[in-house]
Structure 1
Amino acid sequence: MAFSQTAVQLCEEEGTAPMEQFLLKVLRNEMASREQARRARFLREAVFSVYKTLEGFDFASVSLPPALTRQELTSLQFVAAKTNLVMYGPVGTGKTHLATALGVEACNRSMRTKFFTAAELVVRLSEALKEGMLDKLLASVLRADLLIIDEWGYVPVDRQGAQLLFRVIADSYEQRSLILTTNLEFSKWGTIFTDDQMAAAMIDRLAHHGHILLFEGESYRMKHALMRQKDQVKSPWPDGEICTIFLGILA
């Protein structure tokens, strides 16, 4: 919050100590209120699918590369350095949780953040292209300091969709930090994005200033699914035996 030299001079010449203390208190409260409103706005604009925080996140299933410490990750030093993260591993191992929690932390630190699933982003970019609004949408998306694209490669995209995603990756190169969550190894990206060369160009830009985080273990959702809890699945037969049909399928 800036003040003119006249206001500063007036305080110096006519302000008493109690007046200055009161004014300082008012200004600090105003700055805190504005910062809180700014963080709330960034959270709304990020459009997270769920709200997650770093508190209580279990890092046991995550293998960080030697060049990235947990403190560097959670303090968001990678965002300031415009470094990318590719979170790779099976479904349900915490990739989206961690990506979202880092995004929420970024908003709380007054960093602009955007969250999309890859399929959602392709749809929005394709619709904007048809309506002649692609540049406007890209300008909005690429204002972010941190761009999170969830479920990367889960759904195949056509050539136009792949080209639009490539433009996002290319325009973000060395300009902002990207987080991608995926269960698809690099060697298979060409099959999803219709073009091996385009996939290779994406990987090249992501990897140049990037880290891979490996997620392992059992799916959290399957581990805690109600259908796997025997007291939740009762047999419809009179003898009251536990029905194991669904449990066998899930095992």
Structure 2
Amino acid sequence: MTLQITIEQLRRLKLSGMVAGLEHQLSQTAYLELSFEQRLGHLVDAETSSRDNQRLRRLLKNARLKVHAEPEAIDYRPTREINRALVGDLLTCQWIEQRQNLLVTGQTGTGKTWLACCFAVQAARKGITVGYRRVGRLLEDMEIAHADGSLPKLRQQLAKLQLLVLDDFGLVPLTARGRSDLLELLDDRVGTSSTLVAGQLPIKDWHGFINDPALADAILDRLIHSSIKLTLRGESMRKLKSADQPSTG
């Protein structure tokens, strides 16, 4: 069997990583010094890496994150008062494995959305299914789903996500149906998956924002129970980034 036939068969088997690895080996004379087992091991590593990268791209595409935030780019400058140890623990994603929730709060511009997406990217790197939704837009979609009969399908899709990021909580007032839909959404996830909620309202004000004592108790019980809280302080990141830019005037 010729080498070209072998490469074509690998392509038919959709082993693109091994094809790339083999072509790389053929272009580097250093590989000639390795044993067959060593060269085969490199090919398997190349295929594994290729599949991992493909899965990550697929997970991130399906997540529809607002921003692509890399954990390596987290800004720990002292003025932000970020609990570095806590963030480090969160980046291990053990809280997701343990089905805990994460509540990220802070004033406008402190980087809540960016950091929430950062945790989502890290989760995707570990093969965890992720979804990002702004609360106001999600409740609008659920309202439409009520009308066209697709609500059960939408709820099932959201329930399957191992991590669901709910951004801008507290920004848009909740309707009576919105409160009920939010409760059902969280009830589907409690004890089976993790929810990350980000918003500028302090957690102590969430009960009043929901504006229905009974539903507020039920919603917050499902959110706050077994949750981790991360509060962002300091100056607006938009102002800090603007100050970091060189003056052009």
Q: Same fold (TM over 0.5)?
A: yes
Cα drift, residue 96 of structure 1? 1.1
Match of 1:46, as an amino acid?
A
Q: Which residue of 2 aligns with 1:144?
A: 161
Residue 45 of structure 1 is matched in structure 2 by 62
Instruction: Report the count of equivalent residues.
Output: 212
What corresponds to 1:93 in structure 2? Answer: 110
Q: Could you say what secondary structure the match of 2:71 adopts?
A: coil
Rounded to whole Å, the distance in 1 between the matches of 2:133 and 2:37 is: 47
Query: Which structure has the larger Rg?
Result: 1
Partner of 1:14: none
- Alpha-carbon deviation of 1:112? 0.2
| In the alignment, structure 1 residue 80 sits paired with structure 2 residue 110 | no
Aligned residue in 1 for 2:12: none
1:71 corresponds to 2:55: no
1:129 aligns to 2:146 (yes or no): yes
Where 2:238 maps in the other structure, the secondary structure is: helix
Instruction: Answer yes or no: is 1:197 the counterpart of 2:197.
Output: no
Corresponding residue of 1:208:
225
> CA–CA distance in 2 between the matches of 1:62 and 1:205?
28
> By percentage of residues, which structure has more helix?
2
Distance 1:63 1:174, change over 3 A: farther
Instruction: In structure 1, list runs of 5 or more residues that go unmatched.
Output: 1-17, 233-251
Deviation readout 1:138-196 (Å, 9 max, x if unpaired): 11112111111111011112110111111111111111111111111334324433312
Task: Determine if the alignment matches structure 1 residue 102 to structure 2 residue 122.
Answer: no
Q: Is the 8 A contact 1:189 1:196 kept in 2?
A: no
Are 1:156 and 2:173 an aligned pair?
yes
Which amino acid is the alignment partner of residue 122 of structure 1? L
Residue 73 of structure 2 is matched in structure 1 by: 56
Instruction: Give how far 1:27 is off.
Output: 3.9
TM-score, normalized by length of structure 1?
0.75
Question: Which consecutive unaligned segments of at least 5 residues does structure 2 have?
Answer: 1-34
Whole-angstrom CA distance in 2 between matches of 1:230 and 1:62: 27
Which residue of 2 is the match for residue 6 of structure 1?
none
Deviation at 1:28, TM superposition (A): 3.6
Deviations 1:83-116 (A, max 9, x none): 1111111111111111100101111111100001
RMSD, aligned CA: 2.6
Structure 1 residues 191, 71: CA separation in 2 closer, same or farther (over 3 Å shift)? closer
The percent of aligned pairs where both chains have the same amino acid is 27
The change in CA–CA distance for 1:186 and 1:196 in structure 2 (over 3 A counts) is farther
Kindly state the Cα deviation for residue 30 of structure 1 after the two structures are TM-superposed.
2.8
Tell me, what secondary structure is at the counterpart of 1:179? strand
Q: Distance in 2 between matches of 1:102 and 1:186?
A: 20
Check whether the contact 1:54–1:102 (CA below 8 A) recurs between aligned residues.
Answer: yes
Q: Secondary structure at the match of 1:55?
A: helix
